[in-house]
A and B are shown apart, each in its own frame.
Chain A
Amino acid sequence: AQSVSQHNHHVILSEAASLELGCNYSYGGTVNLFWYVQYPGQHLQLLLKYFSGDPLVKGIKGFEAEFIKSKFSFNLRKPSVQWSDTAEYFCAVNAPSGKSTFGDGTTLTVKP
């Protein structure tokens, strides 16, 4: 069965600090990988996605993620966070069957 593990439940940073959120997945076949963001009181929105090709993908708002197949990882990064990045971040995996699996989420708090 596929699964997704996010290593950090809660991250607290000051503005301008760099961010890296870990995500590891387990699935033996081809997968598609996603990072979603959920701002307080809102629904989930796509940050970025990986399907194939360049393992370094860029998303909205300066976020990027690197797919490392040998490590089954898809870590999210941002060089300099802003207060408006305070949100919950979810890593997700889609298998060819259509079944999607989300990690438990990481709450990011950015202090102004």
Chain B
Amino acid sequence: NAGVTQTPKFRILKIGQSMTLQCTQDMNHNYMYWYRQDPGMGLKLIYYSVGAGITDKGEVPNGYNVSRSTTEDFPLRLELAAPSQTSVYFCASSYGLGVANTEAFFGQGTRLTVV
């Protein structure tokens, strides 16, 4: 199994550009998450999904959008990139049974720089 796969690994965007960070998992996990990690700030939840067709906002959703059309894929879209979105982005998935009682498996991360 590949686990959680994120693409791209690195990206530089200009202010105002848009892009989609791809995330796919092959573990048939119901739950998927997008986090951003900034130095000394831990992981902040951007959006999460408890199943196909269901998404919900996390702590820092502004400037981002997500969709979950299939169990496997959970892309994150940045519509108008801003320097404040410079960060490392992690996608994760877990097999929640309604009580979210399993650990998360993380992708390798996407390092995004907005200039």
A residues neighboring B (CB under 8 Å):
6, 9, 30, 32, 34, 36, 42-46, 49, 51, 90, 92, 94-105
Contact A99 B90 (CB under 8 A): no
Knowing A44-B90, A90-B43, the reply to whether A96 touches B100 (Cβ < 8 A) is yes
Tell which of B19-27, B60-68, B71-79, B102-110 binds the partner: B102-110
Can you give 24 contacting A-B residue pairs, CB < 8 Å? A30-B99, A32-B99, A34-B104, A43-B90, A43-B106, A44-B104, A44-B106, A45-B106, A90-B42, A90-B43, A94-B94, A94-B96, A96-B98, A97-B50, A98-B96, A99-B56, A99-B58, A100-B45, A101-B45, A101-B59, A102-B35, A102-B44, A104-B41, A104-B42
- For the complex, is B1 an interface residue (Cβ under 8 Å from A)? no
CA distance A92 to B92 in the complex (A): 13
Interface assignment of B101: CB less than 8 Å from any CB of chain A:
yes
Interface residue tally for chain B (C-beta within 8 Å): 28
Question: Which B residues are closer than 8 A to A by beta carbons?
Answer: 31, 33, 35, 40-45, 48, 50, 56, 58-59, 90, 92, 94, 96, 98-101, 103-104, 106-109
| CB pair A103 B100 closer than 8 Å | no
B8 nearest CB across to chain A (Å): 15
B48 touches A103 (CB 8 A): no
Given A9-B40, A43-B108, A100-B48, list of 18 further CB < 8 A pairs?
A6-B42, A32-B100, A32-B101, A34-B103, A36-B104, A43-B109, A44-B104, A45-B106, A51-B101, A92-B104, A95-B100, A98-B50, A100-B94, A101-B59, A102-B43, A104-B41, A104-B42, A105-B42
